[in-house]
Chain A
Amino acid sequence: MNEIILKAENVCKSFGITKAVCDVSMSFVKGEIHGLIGENGSGKSTFVSMLCGIHSIDSGRFVLNGEELHVKNQVQANDKGVSIIVQEMGTLSGLTVADNIFLGREDKFVRFGIKNTAAMNREAAMLLEKYGFGDINAAAMIDNYNFEDRKLIEIVKATHFGPRIVVVDETTTALSQKGREELYKHMRRIRDEGNTVIFISHNLTEIIEYTDSVSVLRDGKYIDTVKSSEVSEDELKRLMVGREIANKYYRTDYGQPVEGETVLSVRNVSVSGQITDISFELHKGEILGFGGLSECGMHEVGKAIFGASFDRAGTVALANGTKIDSIPCAIKHSIAYASKDRDNESLVLFDSIRDNIVLPSINDLAEKNILKKKKLDKFANEYAKMISVKMTGVDQFVSNLSGGNKQKVVLARWIGKNSDIIVLDSPTRGIDVKVKADIYSLMSELKEKGKSIIMISEEIQELLGMCDRIIIMKNGVISGELARDERLNEEDLIVKMV
């Protein structure tokens, strides 16, 4: 049963001077889950966007069932039997659940120019029931549901009409374990019905477990397709990066207790509706982890330390007693913060790499209040190169960079500022293996220089691998604390999270 259903032939796409997808030819078999992996900026998302009519194709073509695919938008793609579950929010606020599910196919319910809402809601409710999401109300506004439920609704939206190709683009990062199980279940069902799933993910364990074959893209080029049952994670990593990655991914040292002096103490900090009565201390040269479910309040802790919370009670103070109350105050006293929301909070998106790197250090760079362009250029170049940001020059706009490179710019600005306390919220979110490894080794380096790091993360593995201490949060309060130990495993943390 190796009938080829979809073929890409010499597909190319450029954005300006960047070749996002370069002459990619590959085939997808009927009735398989086909993994698609590659580092950030390798062209995975662009490739499937062209397939689904989100981006236009520069040259080359897709052939579906022996017929050239010509689609200009997602509705046309759906009509041809191609649908996608996107990486970010794919449902529209301000509409009901049923409206979202039948977006673009309302005609089905229209008689004499009038939409039969009741019939639409009935059918949506039936579908939700069939998918096992019966507790979602089809007539309710979609805004009443959280990100995860909206993703489940999107699964229904993208698959209820029996498409022959379903693309799942890095959806699992946004889902909890339960949501993931649901998604896997429906991916398998689609395959068993004889259709094809294209599954994009950074999580290689997941890829190997749930796909039948895997294709690798690197720098916009097609590298290889392998059988998932015959490949290991390390082999996949090698294919993605194009060279051997040293096995030293996380820190390997154990058994060094944290004895440094206290550099920051957080006392009874509360933010209404987010966190309650949080107290802890951070030591010199320590990597302190914060773990928990994504709504547990740990992300707010990072903001509170940085003075960025809107309504905070309690105190955040340095060793010498200086209180941190605002962002300018935090920056002045050598605290750095990389937000989980990289594009809005960490980076001035429509501005150059130079301006982004110099902005926090601008007081230090001014001589008698005068800024000199040469000096700013030199500063930006020095740190962008130190962190090896992949760029055409410091004049390049940040909005054009890939996720991993954006994060490198964020790190470059705080390394440039020479901050002593560095708060990293989800530093490796949506970032590929190679840059991840770079970030981990940078963290170790900073630790050795005596800097203190707070790492807030939803990835348990990296907390276990990198942190000297891990604080676990649940429902806005601290629910446990664990010291670095080789014997710790995921279970130990999960027990305290849920």
Chain B
Amino acid sequence: MTEKTKQTEQNGSLSKVKKVLSAPRFLDLLPLIGLVIIVAVFAVMTDMEIVTAKSINLILSQVFVLMIASTGVFLVMTIGGLDFSQGSILGISSIVISSLSFYSIPLAMVAGILAGALIGAFNGFFHVKFKIPSFIVTICTMYLFRGLCAYMTTNAPVAAVTNITSLNLTWLKVVFTVGVLVIVYCIFTYTKLGASLKAIGAGETAARFSGVRTNLTKFLVFVAAGAITGFAAFLNVIKVGSITATAGNQLETMILIALVLGGMPISGGAKVRFSNIIIGTLVYCVLNNGLVMLGLDTAIQQLIKGTVFLFVVTLTIDKKSLHIIK
């Protein structure tokens, strides 16, 4: 066989692999296949321990806050933005909810959502008005509000009213989570707003020239992401009961990793799927718990998570549309 034919043959098989990988149906299914594989791998490695009722319950208890908060960031990423302020929003909103829970629990919940929305508005304002890329604005707000969180919890953790943890019921959290998912899904799929989000992510100038109010929409998306995480903070408070300086620590990276594991293109746009949220957060929590069950050192766990994340991003990234990240 000559050098040249070898080369063409290699090219041939390579392009075949690429073709299978880029077939639309296969791409949509890839995250789901990943979830099944990861569950199977851990089931084998932990002698089926990960699929016992007890483990599943544990995993679910961790998934609620992450899944709700991811829903908001999903919207931000759809327009081609990134949001790193989610962890600090969860912290601030949790503190607000805890402090107000002594007066009225529903009032505290609403106030938590409002606090999140306000921080979101702060992000949106700087991003839209001064045209600062969203990941820079939100990294700044992350430090700003993380600092505020630390300040407010300097002397002692902020405790909520003691009976609030009696609301820590699985069925209630399921209802809340499904509620958020359904509402956002309907807005995303069946309204003009949802269509506008995808269009902005896929080509903002053209979206503006097609009649989309791009600035207003972008602002609202950040407000919504903040408000949704403010709601997630309520679930956080009923779970933990009192808030320390580390509340919501690393939440932003957990969300980002989860969404990418769920198949979300990092540049947003027309190829995002709502299922990215659900599958991604599940994959993340299974991975997280599986590594703990294997009894691995925390440092090793982070190393593995980092590697998996890099691997998935490398596999799924679309070079052509990367310039869109705002």
Residues of A participating in the B interface, judged by any CB pair closer than 8 Å: 16, 58-59, 306, 308, 327-328, 331-332, 337, 339, 344-352, 355-356, 358-360, 362-363, 366, 369-372, 395, 397, 399, 413
Contacts and interface: CB of A to CB of B under 8 A. Distances in A.
B25 to A, nearest CB: 12
Minimum-distance CB pairs A-B, first 3: A348-B203, A351-B202, A331-B211
A327 B203 contact: no
A349 B203 contact: yes
A347 B202 CA distance: 10
B213 A399 contact: no
Contacts of B63: none
Contacts of B208: 308, 327
B54 interface: no
Given A328-B213, A339-B209, A360-B210, A349 B202 contact: yes
Given A308-B209, A350-B270, A366 B202 contact: no
A369 B270 contact: no
B132 interface: no
Interface stretch (B164-172, B192-200, B218-226): B192-200
A344 B207 CA distance: 9
Contacts of B271: 350
B48 interface: no
A328 B271 CA distance: 25
B195 A345 contact: no
Given A59-B8, A355-B270, 12 more contacts: A348-B203, A348-B210, A348-B270, A350-B203, A350-B269, A350-B320, A359-B195, A360-B211, A369-B191, A370-B191, A371-B191, A371-B192
Contacts of A347: 203, 206
A349 B191 contact: no
Contact of A370 (B190, B196, B210): B190
A339 B202 CA distance: 18
Contacts of B190: 370-372
Nearest to B203: A348
Contacts of B11: 58
A341 to B, nearest CB: 8
B312 interface: no
A97 to B, nearest CB: 26
A366 B193 CA distance: 11
B105 interface: no
17 contacts: A58-B11, A59-B8, A328-B213, A332-B211, A344-B205, A345-B209, A346-B209, A347-B203, A348-B199, A348-B206, A350-B202, A350-B271, A359-B207, A370-B191, A371-B190, A371-B191, A371-B194
Contacts of B117: none
B195 A362 contact: yes
Interface of B: 8, 11, 22, 24, 189-192, 194-196, 198-199, 202-203, 205-213, 269-271, 320-321, 324
A355 B196 CA distance: 10
Max chain A Cβ within 10 angstroms of own Cβ: one of B22, B192, B206: B206
A337 B209 contact: yes
Contacts of B211: 327-328, 331-332, 359-360, 362
Given A58-B11, A347-B203, A371-B195, A359 B270 contact: no
A360 B199 CA distance: 11
Contacts of B22: 16
A350 B195 CA distance: 14
With most chain A CB atoms within 10 A of its CB, the pick from B189, B192, B208, B320 is B192
Contacts of B270: 348, 350-352, 355, 397
A421 to B, nearest CB: 15
A351 B201 CA distance: 9
A308 B22 CA distance: 37
B269 to A, nearest CB: 5
B206 A346 contact: yes
A370 B271 CA distance: 21
A8 B245 CA distance: 69
